[in-house]
Amino acid sequence: MELYRITHHYDRGDQSVGVLSDIDPTPMAVYCQFMAEDWVDDCISLSNEVVAIALTRFYGCRLATKTVGGKELDMYFARESSCGEIYKDMMESGLFEREGLKEFIVQNHDQGVALIDAEKKLLVEQLTQ
């Protein structure tokens, strides 16, 4: 699995969150952002933490314990470069639709750090059982 650091061009300081994935998670992350704009508000920008948890819960990624190195997944540039035909193809393909994704994004779009802390705690509990 390869490390991907989720960032956003307008982050203040290092707010990156790492995920491990066998495939490039960029299309799935961008899909989550586009759907949040549709389901919540067209001006929303999902936090790096919410994107990371969505990738782990719905797309087979794992949270990484480090964010040093790896490939950068800048949500700002990834989203902006996915408009037009790429957006149209993404929406028409249905490849990234997942049961429960809408509920997750609507309920957690503003949770950020609290959401990732809870997810990490859950992972630690699962590993120690």
pLDDT in tens, 82-97: 999 999 999 999 999 9
Q: CA 115 → CA 92, 110, 119, distances in Å?
A: 30, 9, 6
| pLDDT tens-place string over residues 31-74 | 999 999 999 998 889 999 999 999 999 999 999 987 788 999 99
pLDDT of residue 14: 84
Which residues neighbour 2 within 8 Å (Cβ) at sequence distance 6 or greater?
20, 21, 22, 70, 71
For 48, the domain range is 2-127
Ranking 3-12, 45-54, 115-124 by mean pLDDT, the lowest is 115-124
> String of b and e for 22-37 (b: at least 16 CB within 10 Å)?
eeebbbbbbbbbbbbb
Rounded distance between C-alpha atoms, residue 119 and residue 4, angstroms: 18
Give Cα 56 to chain centroid, integer Å: 8
Q: pLDDT class for 129, splitting at 50, 70, 90? A: low
DSSP code at position 33: H
Q: pLDDT class for 10, splitting at 50, 70, 90? A: confident
Number of domains within the chain:
1
The pTM (predicted TM-score) of the whole model is 0.85
**What's the length of the chain?**
129
Helices and strands, number each (H, E), in the chain: 6, 4
Which residue reads 């960029």 in tokens? 26
